[in-house]
Amino acid sequence: MIIKVIKRKTSERSGFDRLGRYILNAKHNSPILFTHTAEYVMDVKGDGEKVAWYRISNCQSETPAIAIAEVLATQSANKRTKSDKTYHLVVSVPHWESLTREQAADIEDTICAGLGFSDHQRISAVHQNTDHFHLHIAINKIHPTTFHCIEPYYPYYKLDNLAKELEIKHGLYQDNRIGQGKHFAKVGEMEVHQQEESFLRWLHENIGDQLKEVLQKAQHWQDVHDLFGAYGAEIKPRGAGLAIATLDGKVGIKASSLDRKLSFKSLTDRFGEYQSPQDKKKIHKQYQLGLGKPPGMSALYVEFKKGREINCQARTKALTELRSEHNEKRANLKNWYRQRRASVRSNIVMDKRTKRAAYHELSQEMKKDFVQLKQYEREQKLTIREELPTQTWDEFLASRAEEGDSEALRILRRRKTYRKEISETLLTIESFEEARDIIKTHFRPTVLRNGKVIYRAQDGGVVSDEATAISVPQVTEAATLLALSLADERFHGKAVIVEGSDEFKLHVARLSAFEGLSIRFADPVLEKDRQRHVMVKELSRKGLKETIENNKQSKYDSSQETRGR
């Protein structure tokens, strides 16, 4: 999940009305004149086609135009502030995910409460005009009763923590967060939204260990060039620093993002002025775009995009034609009633009282006809959208799988794997009556309002400590060890139940033994495996101790023999 604060340009005037119009996709003939910001939210140009649903919070009216008028009235009560009175957020998830109304409402409420806007007036809407699900939230920064302008302090860190909390709560894909790993923004967004292994991650996995050794022993630039050349890459100057790029130059990263010792200053201090590689190494392995995608995913996604675009164009055309048709019908209906009023006006037989009654009757009939016409138009719009729906990536894969495409089924199942992992990697016990409440402050955890404690390990792993279980949403060695340490302290003396994959269970048994934890497992097979690792550790320790003692004894004997001579 990505939460972005949309900043207005300094040249633009702050206007909640235009933002509201954009979010709610309002029409130009709305009874209230709106300005730039709300217009963006309500999508004036799209005429309501891209809004899946909208929500109005903390306003007296549920009617968009009246609600926005309330917000403008509230904002006008504050004459002191010089800052923007409107806060615009966009919450987006990867293209293979979508949110229900209930999830979107909970996410909106949680984010606004975390920023201190829980009581503030706001309008939100889900837009369906892009490949990925995204929610716009327009918030009035002016409090409705105190009329103070609330400005969140360092919102990006708060939003980052809130995003992590909501990802775990709703079982969403867990994106890289601030300070987690060495992924900078574009790399992280590529991996999240395209499910494609980044060049940075590929380098970490393939040359991470070798790089440390080379950086320790390297004597000149060529040693560094040899390492990258063997993997189809090169390190070269870019701007004021260094970049690592593939030989074809299509993909590149900042060198220091791979390792701080690869910074321009660090390497020039060691080896002097930059020198180009002298000879080319034989390429051992090379990065390829799309490496992390399942086979066939690119072809299927191109087909999905093409079908979606054709569908969108057909729907837009049908809705435009329908709009023109009904505008013509409305004009004809108005003209017909205008003629009937004119005939009443020109009638010399009818007196004034009778004419007033006729005018009233015509007015009531016209209102009924326009209501029926509007209802008919609404039904036709709904029919068009049902016939030409906006299909999501998951829905496309599901439809292709129903047609017998096994590759689509495999990709669809892979999309859901992370949710399964979140629900399965658990450490728990049968009874929590004697479980202790512990918090490891040196990890700087995030404590949620429901009592859940979120820990983040240095290697990117995540541990969620709840009242009834300890889960590992992102499994890494450091996260697994932290979870075991928490379980050892919280459930001391109790047999721990481990749920998860066989690989995770074996990992747990090995780590608990080699780290010397007093934890024991309820599963007899897993407990036996843990005891085996403990025995191996003890035997290794005894063997090492005996070796040290023998070495000491041999040194002592040799020294005594030397003295005797």
Report yes or no on 290 lying in a domain. no
Q: Are residues 216 and 317 in the same domain?
A: no
CA geometry: angle at 98 spanning 316 and 315, to 5°?
10
Q: Could you tell me if 381 and 474 lie in one domain? A: no
Is 549 contained in some domain?
A: no
Contact predicate 38/56, CB 8 Å: no
Q: Mapping DSSP to helix (H, G, I), strand (E, B) and coil, where does residue 218 land?
A: coil
The residue from 223, 256, 271 where one domain ends is 271
Q: What is the pLDDT of residue 321?
A: 92
Whether 288 is covered by a domain: the verdict is no
Phi/psi at 289 (5° precision): -65, 140
Entry pTM: 0.39
Q: Which residue has the higher pLDDT, 169 or 42?
A: 169
277 lies in some domain: no
**Which H/E stretch holds residue 535?**
helix 524-564
Domain for residue 533, yes or no? no
Whether 391 and 422 share a structural domain:
no
Same domain as 309, residue 248: no
Residue at 335 is within a domain: yes
Number of H helices, E strands in the chain: 18, 15
Rounded average pLDDT over 477-484 = 80
**Contact in structure between 21 and 35 (CB atoms under 8 Å):** no
CB contact at 8 A, 410 and 417:
no
Instruction: Tell me the per-residue pLDDT of 467-476, one tens digit each, with 9 for 90 and over.
Output: 767 888 777 7
Domain residue limits at 56: 2-170
Q: What percent of the chain has pLDDT over 90?
A: 13
β-strand partners of 3: 91
pLDDT tens-place string over residues 492-505: 767 777 777 677 77
Query: Any idea what the Cα angle at residue 12 is, between residues 25 and 145, rounded to 5°?
Result: 75
Between 346 and 409, the higher pLDDT residue: 346
Q: Is 217 helix (H, G, I), strand (E, B) or coil?
A: helix
Q: Is 354 left (phi over 0), alpha (psi -120 to 50) or beta?
A: alpha
Cβ contact 112:124 at 8 Å = no
Q: Of the candidates 70, 55, 73, 64, which has an alpha carbon nearest to the alpha carbon of residue 26? A: 64
The predicted pLDDT at position 31 comes to 37
| Calpha distance 557→561 (Å, rounded) | 6
184: in domain: no
List, for residues 421-464, the tens digit of each pLDDT value: 444 556 676 665 567 788 888 888 888 766 778 888 776 678 88
Residues 331 and 433 both lie in one domain: no
**9 and 147, same structural domain?**
yes
Residue 33: pLDDT band with limits 50, 70, 90: very low
pLDDT at res. 62? 83
Q: What is the pLDDT of residue 41?
A: 46
pLDDT for 38 beyond 50: no
Kindly state whether residues 389 and 421 are assigned to the same domain. Answer: no
Sequence-ordered list of residues with C-beta below 8 angstroms from that of 343, at least 6 positions apart, any chain: none
Q: Is residue 320 part of a domain?
A: yes
Contact by Cβ (8 Å): 285, 205:
no
pLDDT value for 465: 84
Residues 257 and 323 in one domain: no
If asked whether residues 305 and 245 sit together in one domain, one would say no
**237 and 329: one domain?**
no
Q: What is the pLDDT of residue 289?
A: 65
The CATH number of residue 159's host domain is 3.30.930.30
Query: How many folded domains does the chain comprise?
Result: 4
Domain co-membership, 97 together with 18: yes
* CA distances (Å), origin 367, targets 11, 73, 265, 333, 374: 44, 31, 77, 11, 10
Instruction: Supply the mean pLDDT for the chain.
Output: 77
Quickly count: other Cβ atoms within 10 Å of residue 372's Cβ. 10
143 and 16 part of one domain = yes
Q: Measured between alpha carbons, how far apart are the two ends of the chain, in Å? A: 79
**Dist CA 118 CA 110 (whole Å):** 8
The strand pairing partners of 91, in sequence order, are: 3, 135
Token duo for residue 90? 């966009």
Alpha-carbon distance of 401 to 389, in angstroms, equals 18
Q: Which residue among 339, 364, 395 closes a domain?
A: 395
Q: What is the pLDDT of residue 414?
A: 62
pLDDT band at 556 (very low <50, low <70, confident <90, very high): low
| DSSP labels, 342-384 | HHHHH-SSS-HHHHHHHHHHHHHHHHHHHHHHHHHHHHHHHHH
Q: What is the pLDDT of residues 151-161, one digit of tens each?
A: 888 888 889 88
